[in-house]
Amino acid sequence: MIILGLFGVVFLGYLAWLTWAAIAYPIPLSYNLRSLWQRKVATVSTAGAIALVVGIFVVVLSLAQGLSKAFVSSGRADQAIVMRSNAQFELNSSIDRGQVRILKVHPLVAKDATGPLVSAEVVVIKIFQKSDGADTNVTVRGLEPTGIRMRSQVKLTQGRWFRPGLSEVVVPRKMQLRFTGMELSRILKMGGRDWEVVGVFDGGGSSFDSEIWSDVVDIQQAYKRESFSSVLARLDTPERFKAFKASVDEDKRLKLDAVSEKAYFTELTKSGDPIRILGNLITLILTVGAIFAAMNTMYASVSGRTKEIGTLRAIGFRRREILASFQWESILLCGLGGIVGAFLALFANGIQTGTTSFQTFSDVSFAFTITPVLMLEGVAFSLVMGLVGGFFPAWRASRIPLAEAMKG
């Protein structure tokens, strides 16, 4: 820990000195830019390798970002999900009708013109075929009409909402892009029944873009369920959640747990961890390769410019000015690749994809989301690669004995 801390201090100190050197030191950056231009082939191939790594880095980050956005945008702070005690997710929860009735008349629950804003819901998993032919689990949610109104980010884009008792479903528009047979009027086989697709909705990038919705009673009947998976309850204000949770905990008739809908979905973002870990591992391996590519290019550059270095030193430039100059050249080289890579990653922006959540064991649709912040992170990452990859060649350039450098 102490060693890491010391390393951090040295690194930050070096970075600060380098920044200062760019402003105060006399060797102009144009010298480095033109030197890079003069070695076009080496510059383009190294910058290309850096661009590739940065592109992958940004895309990996955008995967995690897209997944996180899908879950985080699903939950509201003023809504609570009530599940069986110790059930972490809706799939392993069970609530009976009596408990639902108690929750519907809870004094802290908000009401609108139609009554209390509470939706008793059932969640089941059904296998569907994706467009690429692979089978995957899909969450099917049975909910009450109130449940639709409580999810304001969900908008109907085609057809109409399902009607109770008619075995009708509505599907997300984004799911239509990734699965076969989800078009309007198509029949889906679920729970031994035929279900007609009567509407298409847009979940606004939330995790509801990965769910098929139908009437809660129809789903219960088809899957022979007496109980519900969860109850979604709206509170007047987010601040009331604490009191609501305490009241649910204390009510001996319920034996249920209330969690904030926002916290529930935030927990679900952990389903992106395997992707993140794998992506980071791939990026790490590629990064090591890219750093060596940058190092190799810079070593070749130093070796080919020994006489130049000697001339600069003879004129009066000091070792540290040579070090800063070559270090900046490496940073410029990698930064150039980083900018290209960050823009290349833009091609992935908005592309719809999905993964299996290890919490819900079902498919989660989400889009690659390349934000300006992610692109800047990618460029910053390339600058760090330039800093690390260029340090040793720059150090070598600054340490060549002057008389030796003059010989070339």
Helix (H, G, I), strand (E, B) or coil at 211: strand
- Cβ–Cβ < 8 Å for 43, 49: no
Nearer to another protein, 26 or 115 (CB): 26
Output phi, psi for 364, to 5 deg: -120, 120
- Alpha-carbon distance of 34 to 40, in angstroms, equals 10
Restricting to residues 110-139, name those near another protein by CB under 8 A.
none
CB 323 → another protein: shortest distance, Å?
Answer: 13
Residue from 123, 312, 370, 400 binding another protein (CB under 8 A): 312
Tokens of 380: 């910053």
Nearer to another protein, 31 or 392 (CB): 31
- Alpha-carbon distance of 31 to 35, in angstroms, equals 6
CB 319 → another protein: shortest distance, Å?
Answer: 7
By CB under 8 A, tell whether 389 contacts another protein.
Answer: no
Residue from 313, 341, 366, 367 binding another protein (CB under 8 A): 313
Residue from 35, 43, 330, 369 binding another protein (CB under 8 A): 35
Output phi, psi for 359, to 5 deg: -90, -40
By CB under 8 A, tell whether 396 contacts another protein.
Answer: no
Binding mask of the shown chain, residues 36 to 75, with x at each position contacting another protein by CB under 8 A: -xx-------------------------------------
Q: Which residue has the tokens 């791939």?
A: 282
- Alpha-carbon distance of 392 to 31, in angstroms, equals 20
Restricting to residues 135-164, name those near another protein by CB under 8 A.
none
CB 327 → another protein: shortest distance, Å?
Answer: 18
Sign of the Cα pseudo-torsion (239, 241, 245, 248, in order): positive
**Where do the DSSP E strands lie in 47-159?**
79-84, 111-112, 115-116, 118-129, 135-143, 155-159
Residue from 193, 245, 319, 396 binding another protein (CB under 8 A): 319
Tokens of 74: 């699903």
Nearer to another protein, 317 or 392 (CB): 317
- Alpha-carbon distance of 121 to 231, in angstroms, equals 6
CB 44 → another protein: shortest distance, Å?
Answer: 17
Q: Which residue has the tokens 């804003």?
A: 117
| Four-CA torsion 24, 25, 28, 32, nearest 10 degrees | -120
By CB under 8 A, tell whether 400 contacts another protein.
Answer: no
By CB under 8 A, tell whether 399 contacts another protein.
Answer: no
- Cβ–Cβ < 8 Å for 92, 227: no
Nearer to another protein, 223 or 317 (CB): 317
- Alpha-carbon distance of 289 to 386, in angstroms, equals 12
Restricting to residues 280-309, name those near another protein by CB under 8 A.
307-308
Q: Which residue has the tokens 């997944």?
A: 67
Nearer to another protein, 7 or 20 (CB): 20
Residue from 155, 189, 242, 318 binding another protein (CB under 8 A): 318
By CB under 8 A, tell whether 364 contacts another protein.
Answer: no
By CB under 8 A, tell whether 34 contacts another protein.
Answer: yes
CB 31 → another protein: shortest distance, Å?
Answer: 6
CB 25 → another protein: shortest distance, Å?
Answer: 9
By CB under 8 A, tell whether 317 contacts another protein.
Answer: yes
Residue from 29, 91, 217, 406 binding another protein (CB under 8 A): 406
Q: For strand 193-202 and strand 168-172, is the pairing parallel, antiparallel, or unpaired?
A: parallel
Please list, in sequence order, all residues whose beta carbon lies within 8 angstroms of the beta carbon of residue 359, skipping any fewer than 6 positions away: 88, 89, 267, 268, 270, 271
Q: Which residue has the tokens 């690669």?
A: 385
CB 37 → another protein: shortest distance, Å?
Answer: 8
Restricting to residues 239-278, name those near another protein by CB under 8 A.
none
Restricting to residues 2-31, name those near another protein by CB under 8 A.
26-28, 31
Output phi, psi for 333, to 5 deg: -60, -50
Residues that bind another protein (CB under 8 A): 26-28, 31, 34-35, 37-38, 307-308, 310-319, 402-403, 406
